[in-house]
């Protein structure tokens, strides 16, 4: 307790990101980054940009990027919100759609930042248990008395709901906001963004950090009914007018335009994921059915934390969550084929 700090600053337990070690070179399979670089056009647009203009504030509305996204998805600019990573959008969403003390529903196993936001903004988190097989029972999400956030695919399981299931949830809560966090949607899920014009209670959140290989530039976007977007804007412009800088805007535009390239990266990642899955099964791993760029796995004999520690010893970082229910799992980002061969070989030494 420090006397100068607010109760919240004294008590909140921040989100813990995956390790970003500086001491030595690891094969990094712990933070779900893309193993492939961003579109070459990102480099081109930035190196050719007018650096003198960096003296000027960026466009606070990020209109050029919003227009591009709107056009692509046949929406209007007023349906789009751009944030400093999807995390910033999630934080603003907790402020924009919930009052202090409100309930918010999400699965008991999901992106752990939701709990941190609930704490930070004094919401009453209601965690709905997953089924035994780690899937979401959509019947648990019907006619709820407050808003919902669902990661689809879910993290860290990687498992996804079908669009028809997502729609059932949205339909069964027409008076409550339903946030679908689609950070990993491009790796095999079906996006709910085609429902935006049909349901005014739906907010879809996506990111440039995964399929577009721009985690280092901090860009996310949300799509939703104009009123929801207006709510996000009211909060954002009361918090920090300019959260996206000039070079991020340029990078985002080029990465978004170069769809062919990101599709190619995604398809390589999916391919590697499926091959890795088969190898893992041969090694007696239980592997959840991932539609994301990571695999959530558990070994029948060797405890997950031991695997995590031994991999680290061998120069391979994966993510381990010391948390009930999933404490015998590790989350492994899908890297390049070469990285996954090294990973599988390391596992062979550990589990055999």
Taking the least distance from each CB to a copy of itself, the nearer of 53 and 260 is: 53
CA 100 – CA 317 distance, rounded (Å):
38
Which residue's CB is nearer to a copy of itself, number 117 or number 296?
Answer: 117
The alpha carbon dihedral of 182, 183, 187, 193 has a sign of: positive
Burial of 248 (0-12, 13-18, 19+ CB in 10 A): buried
Shortest Cβ 91–a copy of itself spacing (Å): 5
Q: How far apart are CA 296 and CA 278, in angstroms?
A: 13
Residue 7, φ and ψ in degrees, nearest 5: -55, -40
The nearest distance, CB 318 to a copy of itself, in angstroms, is: 16
Cβ neighbour number for residue 227 with a 10 Å cutoff:
10
Instruction: Round to whole Å and give the CA distance between 93 and 202.
Output: 12
Q: How far is the CB of 208 from a copy of itself (least distance, A)?
A: 10
Please, are residues 41 and 257 in contact by the beta-carbon 8 Å criterion?
yes
The Cα–Cα gap between 161 and 122 comes to 29
Nearer to a copy of itself, 214 or 288 (CB): 214
CB of 20 to a copy of itself, least distance (A): 6
Q: How far is the CB of 306 from a copy of itself (least distance, A)?
A: 26
Beta-carbon-side half-sphere exposure of residue 62 (alpha carbons within 13 Å): 31
105 φ/ψ angles, rounded to the nearest 5 degrees? -105, 135
Residue (134 or 141) nearer to a copy of itself, CB: 141
Tell the smallest beta-carbon distance from residue 351 to a copy of itself (Å).
29
Residue with Cβ nearer a copy of itself (130 or 228): 228
Closer CB to a copy of itself, 208 or 343, in the complex: 208
Q: Which is nearer to a copy of itself, 119 or 140 (CB)?
A: 119
303 vs 291: CA distance, rounded Å? 24
Contact 213, 335 (CB under 8 A): no
Residues sharing a CB contact under 8 Å with residue 193, sequence separation 6 or more, in sequence order: 73, 182, 204, 206, 223
CB of 314 to a copy of itself, least distance (A): 21
- Three-state secondary structure string covering 7-50: HHHHHCCCCCCCCCCCCCCCEECCCCCCCCCCCHHHHHHHHCCC
Give 80 or 202: the residue with its C-beta nearer to a copy of itself.
Answer: 202
CB 272 → a copy of itself: shortest distance, Å? 15
């Amino acid at each position: 307790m420090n006397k100068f700090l607010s109760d919240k600053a004294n008590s909140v337990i921040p989100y813990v990101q995956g390790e970003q070690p500086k001491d030595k070179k690891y094969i990094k399979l712990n933070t779900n980054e893309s193993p492939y670089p961003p579109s070459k056009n990102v480099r081109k647009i930035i190196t050719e940009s007018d650096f003198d203009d960096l003296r000027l504030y960026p466009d606070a509305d990020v209109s050029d990027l919003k227009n591009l996204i709107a056009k692509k998805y046949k929406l209007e600019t007023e349906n789009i919100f751009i944030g400093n990573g999807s995390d910033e959008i999630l934080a603003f969403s907790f402020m924009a759609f919930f009052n202090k003390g409100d309930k918010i529903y999400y699965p008991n196993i999901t992106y752990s930042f939701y709990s941190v936001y609930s704490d930070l903004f004094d919401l009453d988190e209601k965690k709905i248990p997953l089924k035994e097989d780690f899937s979401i029972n959509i019947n648990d999400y019907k006619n709820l008395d407050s808003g919902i956030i669902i990661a689809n695919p879910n993290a860290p399981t990687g498992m996804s709901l079908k669009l028809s299931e997502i729609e059932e949830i949205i339909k069964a809560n027409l008076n409550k906001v339903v946030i679908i966090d689609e950070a990993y949607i491009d790796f095999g899920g079906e996006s709910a963004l085609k429902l935006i014009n049909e349901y005014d209670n739906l907010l879809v959140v996506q990111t440039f950090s995964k399929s577009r290989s721009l985690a280092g530039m901090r860009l996310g976007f949300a799509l939703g009914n104009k009123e929801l977007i207006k709510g996000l804007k009211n909060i954002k412009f009361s918090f920090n007018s300019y959260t996206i800088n000039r070079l991020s805007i340029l990078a985002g535009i080029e990465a978004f335009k170069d769809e062919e390239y990101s599709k190619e990266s995604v398809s390589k990642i999916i391919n590697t994921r499926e091959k890795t899955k088969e190898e893992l099964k041969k090694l007696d791993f239980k592997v959840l059915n991932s539609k994301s760029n990571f695999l959530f796995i558990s070994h029948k004999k060797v405890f997950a934390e031991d695997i995590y520690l031994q991999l680290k010893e061998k120069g391979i970082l994966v993510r381990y969550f010391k948390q009930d229910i999933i404490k015998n799992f590790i989350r492994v980002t899908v890297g390049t084929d070469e990285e996954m061969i090294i990973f599988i070989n390391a596992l062979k030494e550990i589990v055999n």
